[in-house]
Structure 1
Amino acid sequence: MTDNNQNIILKTNNLYIGYKSKKKDIVVASNINFELEKGKLIGLVGANGIGKSTLLRTLIKVQPALSGSIIINNKNLAITNPQDLAKQLSIVLTEQLTSKNLSSYELVALGRHPYTNWIGNLNENDTEIINKSMDLVNISGLKNKKCYELSDGQLQKVMIARALAQDTDIIVLDEPTTHLDMYHKAYILKLLQRLTKETGKTILFSSHEIDLAIQLCDTMIVMKTNEVICDQPCNLIKEGVFESLFPKDLISFDNSTGSFRVSK
């Protein structure tokens, strides 16, 4: 086995994603093949309705694949039980919390659930990991604040800390910058970039902030109408992938600056 293969943490083989129905399968995207390396920040981008959330839900086993395979840590996702998966992959979704009466600390502590007994008792190691996770995200000062007292940006950082406390190799985030202003969008994505470097974890996130993803990501997965492309941002720019992402009547991509602009 080559060093490169040893460094691959998640890969897809001829993956088809979509929805099963009694009459026929509805395919959202097909023939998806990519390999994600350990310790990288990976952005999943594409136009609205292209299937980003469907792909993420399939990768985290919330939604079954129509065909093909997903391999995490050299094991087929299809035969990975929920308990084992929870120790390999943690998730930060955009859904609202069902209870905001929890303190920030209590919410982060939920990340230890795969490792605690059925009562949920925390041992010294659990407490150490929870505190370290909050330190990494710079929210130790919010430890005793209730979640309903937090701003959207603060709550997002607490959710990221909970994923860190779960201590998995991979963290998956669905639209982590939703509801945030421009500063906090950049702050959260810059935070994710720092966390990959400091923890060695692989972080995969979906986003509409393509300009920011180009600047900060090691790798990007670009979903287009007829194909899914995975590569480094610089290579994607050279290949003209972003130029054809949106209709050119309103938005164009400037290769020299690596950013989108409104067409004149």
Structure 2
Amino acid sequence: MKDSIKNIILKTENLSIGYTSKNKVSTIAKNINIELKQGELIGLVGANGIGKSTLLKTLSSIQLPLSGSIYLNKKPLKEYASVELAKNMSLVLTEQLMSKNLSVFEIIALGRQPYTNWIGNLSDEDISIINQTLEHTNLSDLKLRKCFELSDGQLQKVMIARALAQDTDLIILDEPTTHLDMYHKAYLLKLLQKLAKQTNKTILFSSHEIDLAIQLCDTMIVMTESKVTSDTPCNLISKNTFETLFPKDLITFDKKTGRFKVN
């Protein structure tokens, strides 16, 4: 029991997420109780507009929770200063902007900003970590290429490498497979699975690739209109959780194959 508690990187208690505007509160989801454990790949899935991005933004302190608590490494998330948070959590968001005139090495080096001095000079340790990250993500041959020369899949790998070079316990990615074809979606999620095992980091990502997530994830978080459920893919299948994701008039979930099918 103690080892299990020790390995929990992020935990929520009765978390409610949503928006507040002009004295009006819009609750998207409530009573969210999840645990993200060290070295696991966790997939966040749900229908379009269900609130996956809102949940990720709340977990990453971009957006304030309506109520409840979030703990990162047993410390309340709200107590983290920005630099300290950047040493514990890294983000790859869909709306993230960057200069494509930078090289692959330079983009990945940005992940070391929380550790560099005020001038931003890279130490020998920083350079070593960047080179190790290039090897982990199979980007060594591309390190001098400008980012505008890369494909969407290669560019997404670079952003994951930047987060990995930040050397945090938790990496959060919002829909990392967007705009990729089927092969590169599978390749990227397989890479995330490998990185979680090799680096012992906790990787949480949102995705519409539910079938792939079921095959590759250690844990999944399923968002529906009524609740947020977290468990292993096998247990979620046994509990018929995936059958509640979409209306059954067009697609249904096949428990035997672990896949959705068109009726």
> For the superposition of Structure 1 and Structure 2, which TM-score range results when normalised by the shorter chain?
over 0.9
How far does the alpha carbon of each residue in 1:5-35 deviate from its partner, in whole angstroms, 9 at most, with x for none? 1111111000000011122211110110111
Residue 27 of structure 1 aligns with which residue? Answer: 27
Residue 98 of structure 1 aligns with which residue? Answer: 98
For residues 80 and 96 of structure 2, what CA distance do their matches in structure 1 show?
Answer: 28
Offset at residue 96 of structure 1 (A): 5.3
TM-score (norm 2): 0.99
How far does the alpha carbon of each residue in 1:48-80 deviate from its partner, in whole angstroms, 9 at most, with x for none? 000000000000000000110100000000111
Residue 172 of structure 2 aligns with which residue? Answer: 172
TM-score (norm 1): 0.98
For residues 237 and 52 of structure 1, what CA distance do their matches in structure 2 show?
Answer: 20
Residue 223 of structure 2 aligns with which residue? Answer: 223
For residues 197 and 166 of structure 1, what CA distance do their matches in structure 2 show?
Answer: 17
Q: Which amino acid aligns with 2:199?
A: T
SS of 1:177's partner is coil
What runs of 5+ residues in structure 1 fail to find an aligned partner?
none
Aligned residues: 263
For residues 231 and 200 of structure 1, what CA distance do their matches in structure 2 show?
Answer: 19
Q: Which amino acid aligns with 2:140?
A: S
Residue 181 of structure 1 aligns with which residue? Answer: 181
For residues 98 and 222 of structure 2, what CA distance do their matches in structure 1 show?
Answer: 32
Offset at residue 118 of structure 1 (A): 1.6
**Runs in 1 of length 4+ with deviation above 2 angstroms?**
95-98
How far does the alpha carbon of each residue in 1:121-160 deviate from its partner, in whole angstroms, 9 at most, with x for none? 0010000000100110000111110000000000011111
After superposition, the CA RMSD in angstroms is 0.8
For residues 179 and 103 of structure 1, what CA distance do their matches in structure 2 show?
Answer: 22
Say if 2:11 is the partner of 1:11: yes
How far does the alpha carbon of each residue in 1:138-188 deviate from its partner, in whole angstroms, 9 at most, with x for none? 001111100000000000111111011000001000000000000000000
Q: Superposition pairs for residues 10-89 of structure 1, below 5 Å? A: 10-89=10-89
Q: Superposition pairs for residues 196-235 of structure 1, below 5 Å? A: 196-235=196-235
For residues 134 and 160 of structure 1, what CA distance do their matches in structure 2 show?
Answer: 10
Q: Which amino acid aligns with 2:72?
A: I
For residues 193 and 256 of structure 2, what CA distance do their matches in structure 1 show?
Answer: 23
SS of 2:131's partner is helix
SS of 2:91's partner is strand
Residue 156 of structure 1 aligns with which residue? Answer: 156
Q: State, as a whole percentage, how many aligned pairs show the same letter.
A: 68
Offset at residue 97 of structure 1 (A): 3.1
Offset at residue 95 of structure 1 (A): 2.2
Residue 113 of structure 2 aligns with which residue? Answer: 113
